């Protein structure tokens, strides 16, 4: 039987994925000063970006910066009808002088040349990702403006929970603090997708590949959503929590 939730690539993670048992990777945990919580024996993956120079970008050895509007052969607009284009531009994704990851959605005027004037920059989110899925709500969609943002996912996949063990995925995200009307379309989130989603090239296999949404917030709402999905619709949406 396949447990896709436990073979996951993390998306938009700032650091996370601690698991038990087996050998400790103490050198890794010392490097960034992240302590193992009680009950966990080693770190599978972590990154807090604190060691990177300001103005740089997440290490390609750890992170894939997704670009465009879909996975290869995947559903358009990342399957969520989001209107943004993901880029690797420093203006969309860079490391701050505080050693955090800054992802900034930007609305650019014009017809999508990418060289128009920036009209609006959201309240930036630190150590998180953002989306402009409902950006049309922020301003009437004139059919010309173009939203860009950034999306990263771990290079590591098959981050798995050992049989009988436990897996902790954790991230620290700063959500926007601007009033909700100024955050329409902003969708910071942290989640894991089943590795099969990436490996098989079957990007249309959602939600069968499995997905754990650990934190999602839209439109500046104080609500944080957590969801698990697996299997074909309509059973795909297994559980959801509003926290
Ligand atoms: C990082 O992104 C922010 C927001 O777009 C921008 O103001 C800043 O200039 C960027 N840093 C670099 C080095 O490009
Ligand atoms: C939006 O801008 C990006 C980055 O310049 C570009 O790749 C994309 O094609 C543009 N999208 C549209 C719909 O014009």
The domain spans of the chain are: 3-152, 180-242
Give the residue from 189, 184, 69, 79 showing the smallest Cα distance to 132.
Answer: 184
**Nearest ligand to the CA atom of 91:** 1
Q: What is the pLDDT of residue 233?
A: 58
What is the predicted pLDDT for the residue at 211? 83
pLDDT score, position 218: 86
Atom of ligand 2 nearest to the CA of 114: 5
| Token output for 82 | 């989001």
Q: Calculate the CA 123 to chain-centre distance.
A: 17
pLDDT of residue 46: 87
**Residue nearest to ligand 2 atom 14, measured at CA:** 112
* Distance in Å, CA 56 to ligand 1 centroid: 10
Compute, in angstroms, the gap from residue 69 CA to the centroid of ligand 2: 9
Burial class of residue 113, CB neighbours in 10 A (0-12, 13-18, 19+): exposed
pTM of the model: 0.75
Pocket around ligand 2 at a 6 A CB cut-off:
85, 87, 112, 114, 146, 148
Which strands, in side-by-side order, build the sheet including 125-126? 93-95, 101-103, 125-126
For the chain, which ranges sit under pLDDT 70? 1-33, 110-144, 199-205, 231-243
């Amino acid at each position: 039987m396949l447990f896709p939730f436990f073979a996951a690539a993390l998306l938009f993670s700032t650091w996370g994925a601690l698991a038990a048992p087996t050998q400790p990777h103490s050198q890794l945990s010392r490097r960034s000063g992240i302590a193992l919580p009680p009950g966990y024996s080693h770190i599978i993956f972590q990154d807090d970006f604190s060691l990177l120079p300001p103005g740089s970008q997440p290490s390609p050895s750890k992170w894939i910066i997704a670009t465009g509007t879909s996975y290869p052969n995947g559903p358009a607009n990342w399957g969520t009808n989001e209107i943004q284009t993901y880029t690797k531009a420093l203006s969309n994704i860079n490391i701050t002088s505080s050693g955090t990851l800054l992802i900034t959605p930007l609305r650019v005027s014009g017809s999508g040349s990418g060289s128009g004037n920036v009209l609006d920059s959201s309240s930036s989110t630190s150590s998180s990702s953002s989306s402009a899925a409902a950006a049309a709500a922020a301003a009437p969609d004139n059919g010309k403006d173009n939203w860009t943002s950034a999306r990263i996912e771990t290079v590591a996949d098959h981050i798995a929970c050992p049989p009988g063990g436990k897996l902790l995925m954790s991230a620290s995200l700063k959500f926007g603090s601007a009033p909700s009307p100024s955050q329409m379309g902003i969708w910071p989130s942290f989640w894991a997708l089943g590795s099969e989603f990436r490996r098989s090239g079957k990007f249309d296999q959602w939600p069968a590949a499995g997905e754990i949404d650990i934190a999602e917030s839209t439109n500046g709402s104080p609500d944080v959503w957590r969801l698990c999905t697996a299997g074909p619709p309509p059973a795909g949406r297994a559980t959801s929590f509003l926290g």
